[in-house]
Amino acid sequence: MSTSTPDLDHLLQVALDTVAQAAQIAQDPARREGLDVRTKSGRNDLVTAVDRAVEDFVADRLQARTGLPLLGEEGHSIDSFQGLVWVLDPVDGTMNFVETRRDYAVSLALCEDGVPLVGVVADVVGGHVYSAVRGQGASCDGEPLGALGQGPARTDCVIITDLKEMQALPRLAQCLVESRGHRRYGSAALECVEVACGRAGAFVHMWVAPWDIAAAALICQEAGAVFTRLDGTPLDVRHKGSVLVAPPRTHAELLQRLMIDPS
């Protein structure tokens, strides 16, 4: 960590203001007439003109107000994570944005040496904004989130995951059979927030990027969830990889069943 102490309350307000304006850009009906949908790594990995417009707006806005570098999914890069760095997913859930027009988010985090200090996730269509400051708890629309506590047994909750995880992890598929069922929303940030709010018991994913989870990780941790890699090792948001998010009891039971118990 650097020796300076950032004004986190001020930076949270900057993030909230910026994300609110970014959400307005994403919802602008006029922009849907020229989405310019393109593929990136595969046919289901999309980027649109709105993704790029939101990222450019946020980058310019944060540069003007804070002078800090930004890592964005759609092209803004950094030399390193040393010091204070903004991390942005301009439209988390681009497939939803294009196809269903709901369940997508603007996700913005401020990290110091790779550790999230401020996190904001806006559910654009749902109209809710989730936020957190390290050591100060998590909120939804400015109201504190209730403490998660230990969480339910893994058999007594809904687990958020995807088909590719079920196919790759037979034990996870069995956990789903034994659970109350599974859901998938298509935005990692919003899926993590479901856990933070106690509306889902766990989120399991094999491959997330820094911009997917930097803000959501802090919100979950401040709400009392355990946020690790799939094998239980600590999660470093600077690197892509797997994620297992759940309240302490639920996390421990899933980790035991997925990684430790005999097959």
Is there a binding annotation on residue 73?
yes
Please write down the HEC assignment for all residues of the chain: CCCCCCCHHHHHHHHHHHHHHHHHHHHCHHHHHHCCCEECCCCCCEECHHHHHHHHHHHHHHHHHHCCCEEECCCCCCCCCCCEEEEEEEEECHHHHHHCCCCCEEEEEEEECCEEEEEEEEECCCCEEEEEECCCCEEECCEECCCCCCCCCHHHCEEECCHHHHHHCHHHHHHHHHCCEEECCCCHHHHHHHHHCCCCCEEEEEEECHHHHHHHHHHHHHHCCEEECCCCCECCCCCCEEEEEECHHHHHHHHHHHHHCCC
- Whether 79 has a binding-site annotation, put simply, is no
> Does 9 carry a binding-site annotation?
no
Helix axes 49-66, 8-27, angle to 10 degrees: 150
Residue 231 marked as a ligand binder:
no
**222 half-sphere exposure, CB direction, 13 A CA radius:** 25
Binding-site members for Mg(2+) are 73, 89, 92, 212
Binding-site members are 73, 89, 92, 212
